[in-house]
A = this chain, B = another copy of it.
Amino acid sequence: MNLPLGYRFAALHAGIRKNLELDLALMVSDPEAAAAGAFTRNVVKAAPVVLCERHLKQSKGRCRAIIVNAGNANCATPTMAKVARATASATAKAVGVPVNRVLVSSTGVIGEPLDEKLIIEVLPTLCGQLSQQHFPEAARAIMTTDTVPKTAWSVVEMPEGEVRIAGMAKGAGMIQPKMATMLSYIFTDAVIPADELRKMLKTVLGRTFNRISVDSDTSTNDTVLLLANGASGVAVTKANRERFESALGNVAESLAVAIARDGEGARKLLTIDVEGAVSERAAETIARAIANSPLVKTAIAGADPNWGRFLSSAGASGVEFEPSKVDIHVNGFLVCRCGCRADFDEPEVQKTMEADEIHLRFHIRGGGSGCARFWTCDMTEDYIRINAEYRT
């Protein structure tokens, strides 16, 4: 892994998660980084989200350190704001930076008080472990019900030199980011001013983290942070911006898709392409409706090319279209032609649907140029098991 220069990471078990997994991560940028963030649109916001928004405003988009705990969302408790502030202050002191250069995230159960002492007491140890090499441990420490850590990286060759991008993400349930998503941190050593970074993040999110859904729930803690510390000395300019953004988009897409694939209880990744809608937004609305339909998600689990459900869920999306112009392909097989059953070999299609990646193409004949790709996962009995027994 060719990690971006000027970032160090550390992780340990602070005792916030009940098991003995890593549950606290510190991420430090040694040159101060430009930073952009995107956060949940839920009106119930966890204290760390509110604190991040405030610090990014105060610092005009500058960041030196991110502290993240798993196991407790620090949300909906009387002490949440105090705990987030205390965590930020102690981290600022330990790292030796102004407090508004510190960003804080939490993820886990809602409504249980988070004891900030668990974090504050181990900060010296955590700081002592900081190293570029601990990026994978940090990615592991932000997990909750995730079954695998999610990382992605890219090296971008530009005429002026190489820059690197590396990202991590967590999330498996309560996922339908409308604005941001679960937790994700993306680092680059390119030189990018904060206002440019914000625009870039918005563009990239629109087609990646905002295009995934596990269970249609939007969390109180969703956070994506993008840092650019300039340690490579290579600036992103008008001339090379497209190349950089494309690499950044790939990293973000990898992370977003990894979240959909690791959806709670999921065994399959479902990629949905909608084409021929009147606009990209209409295509996205149709794709999201298909992705969020429990009947679609259970059909995918059952390897059932039940195209009637795909068509019906699209029809309930609120977007107008002519059902008799719709073709649906599953794994390349035409299963619905002009809104009716196509002539396909059902056992053959079912067999391809036993794979762990399913592709659904929803095409409106003679429609507009609006298209969108969306990712979700199947819904299995394990989703129920995980969520009915979450706290027991």
Contact = CB atoms under 8 A, between A and B. Distances in A.
A387 interface: yes
A43 B323 contact: yes
A301 interface: yes
22 contacts: A42-B315, A43-B315, A43-B316, A43-B319, A43-B320, A44-B312, A44-B316, A73-B308, A75-B312, A76-B341, A110-B309, A216-B216, A216-B293, A217-B313, A294-B383, A298-B388, A298-B390, A299-B390, A301-B388, A379-B384, A380-B388, A384-B384
| Copies of this chain, whole number | 2
Q: Looking at A75, A111, A319, which has the most chain B CB atoms within 10 Å of its CB?
A: A111
B295 A217 contact: yes
A229 B40 CA distance: 54
Given A43-B323, A220-B315, 11 more contacts: A42-B312, A43-B316, A45-B323, A75-B308, A217-B316, A219-B312, A294-B387, A304-B388, A304-B390, A304-B391, A304-B392
Contacts of A307: 111
Interface string A262-303: 000000000000000000000000000000111100110110
B341 A294 contact: no
Contacts of A341: 76-77, 111-112
Nearest to A221: B312
Mostly helix, strand, loop or mixed at chain A's interface?
Answer: loop
A78 B75 CA distance: 53
Contacts of A387: 294-295, 298-299, 302
A112 B225 CA distance: 49
Contacts of A149: none
Given A110-B308, A383-B384, A384-B383, A217 B294 contact: yes
Contacts of A212: none
A42 B316 contact: yes
Interface in A73-112: 73, 75-78, 109-112
Nearest to A73: B308
A158 interface: no
Contacts of A54: none
A297 to B, nearest CB: 9
A122 B97 CA distance: 84
Nearest to A386: B298
A42 B318 CA distance: 8
A391 B312 contact: no
Contacts of A173: 295
Interface string A32-44: 0000000001111
